[in-house]
Amino acid sequence: MKAYLGITFHHNKQNRESIKRISQVLAECGFETVCVCRDIAQWEMVALSPRELMTATFDAIRSCQLMVIDIGILFDLWSILARKRRRADAGY
């Protein structure tokens, strides 16, 4: 099973070890983890446009059975999803 880690990565790398520890605990429980900042942006070594980043994020989410979300990022995702839904409902 896969788990998506929706954790805001700080540019000063203050939470990189936390991301690694959470991933390790989930791995011990049998989960393969997906974390956009770690796996796709490779700790900010790969520059992505906002569109590329969001596409990669939603693809990662769809591939997982569990989501572990930083509460701050959760509100960002809800906001984006709500805007997408409104645009779809409005036909654009």
Whether this model's pTM surpasses 0.75 = no
CA-CA distance, 36 to 23, in Å (whole number)?
12
pLDDT digits (tens, 9 = 90+) for 32-74: 999 988 998 888 888 888 889 889 988 999 999 999 888 766 6
- E strand residue ranges, 7-79: 32-34, 66-69
Q: Average pLDDT of the chain?
A: 84
- Please check the confidence at residue 92 and state whether its pLDDT lies above 60: no
**Sequence-distant (≥ 6) Cβ neighbours of residue 43 within 8 angstroms:** 9, 13, 16, 37
Angle at CA of residue 38, ends 37 and 44, nearest 5°:
60
Percent of the chain having pLDDT more than 70?
89
- Please check the confidence at residue 87 and state whether its pLDDT lies above 80: no
- Please check the confidence at residue 8 and state whether its pLDDT lies above 80: no
